[in-house]
Chains A and B, each alone.
Chain A
Amino acid sequence: MSAARRDLLVGLVLVVLAGCLPLVVGTRYIVTQATLFFIYAVVVTQWNLVLGVAGIFSLAQMALFAIGAYATAMLGFYLLVPMAFAMPLAALATVVASLVIGLACLRLRGPYVALLTLAIAQVIYVLIINDTECFTTGPSGCLPLMGGVREPGQEGGRAEHPELGAEAADPA
């Protein structure tokens, strides 16, 4: 048996085992923890690709994680894109973002790459957590990641989807 086929087989067995997990354990806690484990396994894999294989000391990888998550949520919330489409679209958007970051790093070496990517990650973090108006998605138009409330027009989908605005405005 070749190495590739062996890896594939082992992978298949593990996937089946993971799929059986909810049937075997009774508590949600274990299932949730296992899900988290797999999410971080994906994160580790991509970081291994960047630092381990390519040798780029990037600290912006968790920012890409955030971009993907926010893009999925925003596509669903503002444009009412179904989850199944929103996720690949968000992945595409994240690829574009990481391409831009990669281009910015092209001429840098060593510690400058680490610091530039750290700065990018911090920009995204600061823009997200400073967006306090969006903690409570009130009736006013609110664009997470775009600096909060923009008064006129309510760009971003609310105007196109009045039912969404009405829903959010209604406390019941």
Chain B
Amino acid sequence: MDVLIQIVASGLTLGAMYAVSTIGLALVYGSLNMLNMANGALLALGGYVCYFVATTLGLPAPLAVLAAMLVCGLAGLLIYLTTALPMLRSGEFETRIFIATIGLGSVLENVIQKVFGPQPLPQPLKAPGDVVIGAVHVPNQNLLILATALLLMVLVAGLLQRTRIGRAIRATAQNREAAQLMGIRVGQVYAIVLALSGALAAISGIMISSLTSLSPTMGAEPMLKAFIICILAGLGNVHGAVASALLLGLIEAGAQYLLGVRWSFALLLLIVIAVLVWRPYGLFGRRQVVRL
């Protein structure tokens, strides 16, 4: 029983961390048909900006998180203006932007390495103490991550469902031309979506680095997991992404306990390969994907 509580607690924490960056990826793919391979570098950037503001400048933690969100949001905006916008009209946009963002991510990772050095750094944002359930100690840090992730999901869902800009995002995702004809500025929507996904990546990066440590390439594996989750959900499907993220987090924690840590990632990848072979449009995806 205690083992089960432990697995569920760490599984939900993992799932929540993945869900935050997955939402960003799903939004970007849903509206632009763009796989943002620079997302891993944005995770690292968010973690490092938070570290810089909190440790080097010595400012309070909430300010550090806000600064990281701002910088990564701006980075997302820059990716749109410098890379996605010029390519948008070209044929084979999906392939080109995929390769271009791999390059962007690589540049960003190397700039981070140049500025902060390759050695792992500790993320200063830590919530000390833990909560005892039965015989299990659940760290406050995990609970904080879970709570933040849930809050963010509610906020993003609210943004998409209730606000004007959210409706514009959903309309663009459903049908770009029709949205344009209805007077939605599609370019503006794209810019906002990329900035939003940058800010979400920053938070996800801070969460992940607070449990492990900061390094320039820390984003690579979480990004791959986020893509796995996106595939499971069907690319561009935001609600499915959250469900898949929590499910995969639980599977990962279970596999780590039952099989050993080194099998967990391989198992996740094998699951996604099996799902893709079995259902080419993802678990929650429909053949004609109605996005968002």
15 contacts between A and B (CB under 8 A): A57-B98, A107-B277, A109-B280, A111-B33, A111-B94, A115-B228, A115-B231, A118-B224, A119-B231, A119-B272, A119-B276, A122-B265, A123-B266, A123-B269, A126-B269
Which residues from B are CB-within-8-Å of A109? 280
Contact among B35, B95, B277, B281 for A104, CB-based, below 8 A: B277
Instruction: From known contacts A115-B35, A115-B231, A118-B224, infer whether A104 and B276 are also in contact, taking CB-CB under 8 Å.
Output: yes
Residue A162, interface by CB 8 Å: no
Closest to B35 in A: A111
A130–B264 Cα distance when bound, in Å, is: 11
A108–B275 Cα distance when bound, in Å, is: 11
Residue B63, interface by CB 8 Å: no
Which residues from A are CB-within-8-Å of B263? 130, 147
A108–B94 Cα distance when bound, in Å, is: 15
Instruction: From known contacts A114-B98, A118-B224, infer whether A107 and B280 are also in contact, taking CB-CB under 8 Å.
Output: yes
Interface residues in B1-49 by Cβ distance below 8 A to A read 29, 33, 35
> Scoring A residues 80 to 109 as 1 if CB is less than 8 Å from chain B, else 0, what string do you get?
000000000000000000000000100111
Residue A40, interface by CB 8 Å: no
A123–B230 Cα distance when bound, in Å, is: 18
Interface pair A122/B224, CB less than 8 Å apart:
yes
A127–B228 Cα distance when bound, in Å, is: 17
Interface pair A123/B270, CB less than 8 Å apart:
yes
The distance from the CB of A148 to the nearest CB of chain B, in whole angstroms, is: 9
A22–B78 Cα distance when bound, in Å, is: 49
A110–B96 Cα distance when bound, in Å, is: 12
Which residues from A are CB-within-8-Å of B269? 119-120, 122-123, 126
Residue B262, interface by CB 8 Å: yes
Closest to B34 in A: A111
Interface pair B273/A104, CB less than 8 Å apart:
yes
A97–B202 Cα distance when bound, in Å, is: 38
Residue A31, interface by CB 8 Å: no
Interface residues in A123-154 by Cβ distance below 8 A to B read 123, 126-127, 130, 147
Residue B250, interface by CB 8 Å: no
Residue B193, interface by CB 8 Å: no
Residue B190, interface by CB 8 Å: no
Residue B218, interface by CB 8 Å: no
Hey, which bits of chain B sit against chain A, CB under 8 A?
Answer: 29, 33, 35, 94-95, 98, 224, 227-228, 230-231, 235, 262-263, 265-266, 269-270, 272-273, 276-277, 280-281
A147–B33 Cα distance when bound, in Å, is: 38
Which residues from A are CB-within-8-Å of B224? 118-119, 122
Contact among B33, B95, B266, B276 for A112, CB-based, below 8 A: B276
A116–B270 Cα distance when bound, in Å, is: 10
A127–B265 Cα distance when bound, in Å, is: 9
Interface pair B273/A123, CB less than 8 Å apart:
yes
Instruction: From known contacts A112-B235, A122-B224, infer whether A127 and B266 are also in contact, taking CB-CB under 8 Å.
Output: yes
Interface pair A111/B98, CB less than 8 Å apart:
yes
A120–B95 Cα distance when bound, in Å, is: 19
Please name 8 further chain A to chain B contacts, defined as beta carbons within 8 Å, in addition to the given A109-B280, A119-B269, A130-B262, sorted by A numbering: A104-B277, A107-B280, A111-B35, A112-B235, A112-B276, A119-B231, A123-B266, A127-B266
Closest to A109 in B: B280
A147–B281 Cα distance when bound, in Å, is: 31
Which residues from B are CB-within-8-Å of A110? 94
Closest to A103 in B: B277
Which residues from B are CB-within-8-Å of A115? 35, 227-228, 230-231, 276
Contact among B29, B266, B276 for A108, CB-based, below 8 A: B276
A104–B95 Cα distance when bound, in Å, is: 20
Which residues from B are CB-within-8-Å of A119? 224, 228, 231, 269, 272-273, 276
A127–B260 Cα distance when bound, in Å, is: 13
A41–B98 Cα distance when bound, in Å, is: 23
Which residues from A are CB-within-8-Å of B266? 123, 126-127, 130
